Chains A and B, each alone.
Chain A
Amino acid sequence: MRRSSGLFGLIGVILLLFAGVALVLTRGETIFDVIYIAVHGVFGVLLLIAYFSTGIDSLRTFLGERSTRYGTNTVVASLLFIAILGVLNFLAYRHHHRFDLTSEKVFSLSPQSVQLLQGLTQDLRLEAFVEGGANPEIEDLLRNYRAASDRVTVRMIDPDREPELAERYGIKAYNTVRLQYGEASNQVTQPTEENLTNAIIKITRTTSRTVCVVEGHGEPDLNDRESPRGYALFKQALENETYQVKPLLLATVDQIPADCSIVAVAGPTRPFLAQELPLLDAYLKGGGRLLFLLPPRKAEEFVAFLKPYGIALGEDVVVDQVVRLFQGPALGLTPLVETYDATHEITRALKGRTIFPMTRSVSAAEGTAGVKATELAKTSPSSWAETDLVGLFENQQATLDPADRKGPVPVAVAAELDLKQLGGSGGEARIAVFGSSDFASNQNLEGTFYNQDLLLNTVGWLAGQSDLVSIRPRAMRASRVSFTEREGTAIFYLSVLVLPELLLLAGLLVWWRRE
C-alpha cells in the first residue's frame, strides 16, 4: 500500500509539472490547451490528495519526519538561490559591457551613433523585414544598436509570414528596417550604420520642419493616392522624414508664411499670376528654400524667374531612344538617369537609377556671381533635348537636329545663393529644380527606381539637414591561409590522422596494462 501511494504522489507531481509547462508555453489559448492543462491539473491534484489521504497518520508522520524538513529546506533554498541568480542575471543584462575583439571593430557602433543612442528619451523600435525572418548581417547591426541603449528594441520579421504588418507599414522590399520613435516612424531600405543613424537623427529631432506646397495652378493633388500621377506618396515620404506638409495658396497671402522651411512649386499646369512670383522672389531673398518640379511646356514664366539664379530651364523635351523587342528603336519620353554628380551632397551616395518621365532640360549657367549651381543628374548619351515641340507632339516625330542639345542632358540642378553677393543683406538661399513633375508622382516613387531617395535627399539638402553624419562601413578583415601542397598534406596527417591515432594507441596501452 505504502509503495503504490508513493507512486501516486510521484505521478501527481509529474502531471502538475506538465500542466505548468503547458500553461506557460501556450497560455491556454485554444480549447485543446485548456483541456490538456485542466485534465493534468485535476488529476495531478487528485493523485496528490490520494497520496496524502492514504492515511492522515502517514501524512502526519511524513510531515514530522526529519527527511521532510530537510527536503523542504533544500527545495526552498534552491528556489531562493535560483531567484537570486535570476535577479543578478537581470542586473547583468541591464548593465553590461561589450568588448569587441575584431580588429575592424565590426560589432561596435561609431562614437556618433553611440552618443545619439544614449541621448534617446523615448523607446526606439527597430523592426527589420527580412526574407525568412533571418539575416545575420542586419541582425548583427541592429544588435549593436540594442547593445548601446536600453531604449532600443529590435525585432526581425518575416514579411511573408506577417504580411499584414508589411502591408500596414507599406514595406515594399526585403531588408527594409522600420524605425518607430514615439509617434514618429521612418524606414531605411539599405540598412547600414550610416543610413540607420541618420534616420534616427531625423526621427528623434523634435523641431519638425514644414514644407509648404503651392496650390492653385492645377498641381497634382497631395492627397491623391489612387491615380498614378497623384502626390500622396510624395507627401507621405516627407511626413516619414518628420516634415510637416502644408498646402499654400499664394493668391491669398501677401507674403510667404514664416514657418515654411521649404516652399515647393510642384507640377503647375496653369500660369502663375503676376503678383505671385514676387512673393517667391522675396521669400528667396530672405534666405528661403525653393523646390521646383517644372514639366515642359508649362510654367514658362519660371524661365525668366530662375535665370538670375544661374539656372537655365530648357524650352525642350528630353527624348531617349528606347529599343523595344520586335519594334526596333522607338521614341522614348521617359529617360532613365544613371549619371549623377559625384561630389554634391544630394547625389553623392545615390546608387540606383532614377526615371524622369516627360522632362525638360535644366542646366546650370556658368559665371553667375554669388551662385553655385550644380547639375545633379544627367540622362544617357543616346538622348537629346528636342526643341521642335510642335513636331514632337503633333507629328510624333523627333530627330536630332543641329538646334537640339545632344545628350547627356542635365535634368536637375541644385543652386546655392550667396545673398550678399546678389545684393541682399547676407545669408544663404537654396534652390533645387527638376525638369519633370511626374518624377515625384505616386507611380514613380513606388517603383523600382530611386526617385524617392533623390527627392528626399534634395529636400533634406534644401532644409539643411542632409546626411548629418557619415560613417565608414566596416567588415571583418579579410584573412588568408596559404601553404604548399606538401604542407597541406602535413596538415592533413597532423590534424586528421596522427593526433587521434596517438590517443587511440595510448588508450589501448592503458587497457592492455589493466588486463
Chain B
Amino acid sequence: MRNILAIAAKDLRSQFVSPIAYVVLTGFLLLGGWFFFNLLARFNVLLNLYLSFRNPEAMQRLNLNDFVIAPLLHNLSVILVILVPVITMRSFAEEKRSGTYELLMTSPLSVTEIVLGKFFGAFAFVFFMLLLTGIYPLILVLYGNPEIGVLLSGFLGLLLLATAFVAVGLLTSSFTENQIIAAVSCLVALLLLYVISWPADTAGETMGAVLKYVSLTEHFSELVKGVIDTRDLAYFGSVIVLALFLTQRSVESLRWR
C-alpha cells in the first residue's frame, strides 16, 4: 500500500509540474463555467417567459436539476471524453519514451502496485478537476433550492464516469510508447463506448439489451436523473476493474516479451 501511494504521489506531482495539466485544467474549467453560466441564464429567461405567459403548468416543470444540472453534467462528460486521455496518455508511454520504464520495471515493486499507483495518481488529478467544478452546484445551493440528492448522485455519476475513463486511458497508454497514439486510441475507445448503444433499438431484443448495457451513457444518465441503481455501480466497477486487469497484463507482458 505504501508503494502504491508513493507511485501515486510521484505521478500526481509530475502532473502538476507539466504544463499539460494546467492547459487541461484551464480548458475544462473555462468550458464548464461557460456551460454553467449560460444554462443558468437560459433557465432564468425561461422562468420569466413562463411567468409572463402565466403558464403555471410549465412553471411547475421548471426545475434546476433538469434544466441546469443535468445538461451541465452531460456536457462535462463529453469534455472529459476528450481531456481524460490527454491526462492518462503520459502514465506509461512517457516512462517508456524517457527510458525510466526499465528502472521502474526492475525495481522491487510488483506490477500490480505500479498499475494501481499510476491509476490512483491519475484518479487524484481527475478528482481535483471535478472538485473545482463543485462551485457550480455550490452557487445553486447558495442562491436557490435544487434537489440535493439528485445533485449528489449526478456528480457521483460524473466521478464514476471519469474514473472509468482513467482506467481505459491507462490501458491504452500501456500499449505504446507514443503518447499521441495512447491518447487517440483512448479517445476512440471511449467514444465507441459512448455511442455503442445507437443501433440498440433495431438490433433485436437480446442484442439491443446487451448493447445498451455496455454503453456508458445509459448508466451515466440514470445517475444524473437521481437514481442510484446497483446495476450502474456494478457496470462502472466492472469497467474499471477490467481495464486495470488488462493494464496489469499488458505491463507484465514486457517482462517476458
Residues of A whose CB lies within 8 Å of any CB of B are: 25, 66-67, 70-71, 74, 77-78, 81-82, 85, 88-89, 92-93, 96-103, 106-107, 133, 140, 147, 153, 155-156, 475-483, 487, 491-492, 494-497, 499-500, 503-504, 506-508, 510-511, 514
Indicate if the CB atoms of B227 and A100 lie closer than 8 Å. Answer: yes
Q: A81-B242, A88-B234, A101-B152 are in contact. Are A70 and B22 (CB under 8 A)?
A: no
Indicate if the CB atoms of A495 and B37 lie closer than 8 Å. Answer: yes
Q: A495-B135, A504-B22, A507-B19 are in contact. Are A78 and B245 (CB under 8 A)?
A: yes
Indicate if the CB atoms of A496 and B19 lie closer than 8 Å. Answer: no
Interface of A is mostly: helix
Q: A74-B249, A96-B229, A491-B37 are in contact. Are A85 and B60 (CB under 8 A)?
A: no
Indicate if the CB atoms of A92 and B230 lie closer than 8 Å. Answer: yes
Indicate if the CB atoms of A507 and B26 lie closer than 8 Å. Answer: yes
Q: A74-B252, A101-B147, A107-B225 are in contact. List 18 more A-B contacts (CB 8 A).
A: A25-B199, A78-B249, A85-B242, A89-B234, A98-B227, A101-B152, A102-B226, A102-B227, A106-B226, A140-B225, A478-B59, A479-B63, A482-B144, A483-B143, A491-B37, A500-B26, A507-B22, A510-B22
| Interfacial chain B residues near A88, Cβ < 8 Å | 234, 238
| Interfacial chain B residues near A78, Cβ < 8 Å | 245-246, 249
Q: Which of B3-11, B39-47, B84-92 contacts A (4 or more CB under 8 A)?
A: B39-47
Indicate if the CB atoms of B22 and A495 lie closer than 8 Å. Answer: no
Closest residue of B by beta carbon distance from A99: B228
Indicate if the CB atoms of A101 and B63 lie closer than 8 Å. Answer: no
Q: Which of B121-146 contact A (CB under 8 A)?
A: 132, 135-136, 139-140, 143-146
Indicate if the CB atoms of B147 and A477 lie closer than 8 Å. Answer: yes
Indicate if the CB atoms of A481 and B144 lie closer than 8 Å. Answer: yes
Indicate if the CB atoms of A481 and B143 lie closer than 8 Å. Answer: yes
Minimum C-beta distance from A65 to chain B (A): 10
Minimum C-beta distance from B17 to chain A (A): 6
B29 in complex: contacting residue of A155, A483, A503, CB < 8 Å: A503
B16 at the interface (CB under 8 A from A): yes
A481 in complex: contacting residue of B19, B61, B140, CB < 8 Å: B140
Indicate if the CB atoms of A496 and B230 lie closer than 8 Å. Answer: no
Minimum C-beta distance from B18 to chain A (A): 8
Interface of B is mostly: helix
Residues of B whose CB lies within 8 Å of any CB of A are: 16-17, 19, 21-23, 25-27, 29-30, 32-34, 36-37, 40, 43-44, 47, 59-66, 68, 132, 135-136, 139-140, 143-147, 149-150, 152-153, 199, 201, 205, 213, 225-231, 234-235, 238, 241-242, 245-246, 249, 252-253, 256-257
Q: How far is the CA of A482 from the CA of B145 in the complex (A)?
A: 9
Q: List 22 A-B contacts (CB under 8 A).
A: A74-B249, A81-B242, A85-B242, A98-B227, A101-B147, A101-B149, A101-B152, A156-B201, A475-B61, A479-B147, A480-B64, A481-B40, A481-B43, A481-B68, A495-B36, A495-B139, A496-B37, A497-B33, A500-B26, A506-B22, A507-B22, A507-B23
Minimum C-beta distance from A172 to chain B (A): 22
Indicate if the CB atoms of A93 and B231 lie closer than 8 Å. Answer: yes
B66 in complex: contacting residue of A96, A100, A476, CB < 8 Å: A476
| Interfacial chain A residues near B66, Cβ < 8 Å | 476
Top 7 A-B residue pairs of the complex, sorted by shortest distance between their CB atoms: A507-B22, A481-B144, A101-B149, A92-B234, A495-B33, A496-B33, A500-B30
Indicate if the CB atoms of A503 and B22 lie closer than 8 Å. Answer: yes
Minimum C-beta distance from A149 to chain B (A): 15
| Interfacial chain A residues near B25, Cβ < 8 Å | 503, 507
Compute the total of residue contacts between A and B using a CB distance below 8 Å.
Answer: 164
Closest residue of B by beta carbon distance from A507: B22
Indicate if the CB atoms of A96 and B37 lie closer than 8 Å. Answer: no
Closest residue of A by beta carbon distance from B16: A510
| Interfacial chain B residues near A81, Cβ < 8 Å | 242, 245
Listed residue (A100, A103, A479, A497) with the most chain B CB atoms within 10 angstroms of its CB: A479
Q: A156-B201, A499-B33 are in contact. Are A107 and B227 (CB under 8 A)?
A: yes
Minimum C-beta distance from A508 to chain B (A): 8
Q: A101-B226, A156-B201, A478-B60 are in contact. Are A496 and B146 (CB under 8 A)?
A: no
Q: How far is the CA of A108 from the CA of B43 in the complex (A)?
A: 27
Listed residue (A66, A74, A99, A503) with the most chain B CB atoms within 10 angstroms of its CB: A503
Q: A101-B227, A107-B226 are in contact. Are A82 and B242 (CB under 8 A)?
A: yes
Q: How far is the CA of A504 from the CA of B19 in the complex (A)?
A: 9
Indicate if the CB atoms of B26 and A480 lie closer than 8 Å. Answer: no
Indicate if the CB atoms of B144 and A96 lie closer than 8 Å. Answer: no
Q: How far is the CA of A81 from the CA of B144 in the complex (A)?
A: 47
Q: How far is the CA of A96 from the CA of B51 in the complex (A)?
A: 42
| Interfacial chain B residues near A479, Cβ < 8 Å | 63-65, 144-147
Q: A101-B226, A479-B65, A481-B143 are in contact. Are A74 and B16 (CB under 8 A)?
A: no
| Interfacial chain A residues near B21, Cβ < 8 Å | 507
| Interfacial chain A residues near B245, Cβ < 8 Å | 78, 81
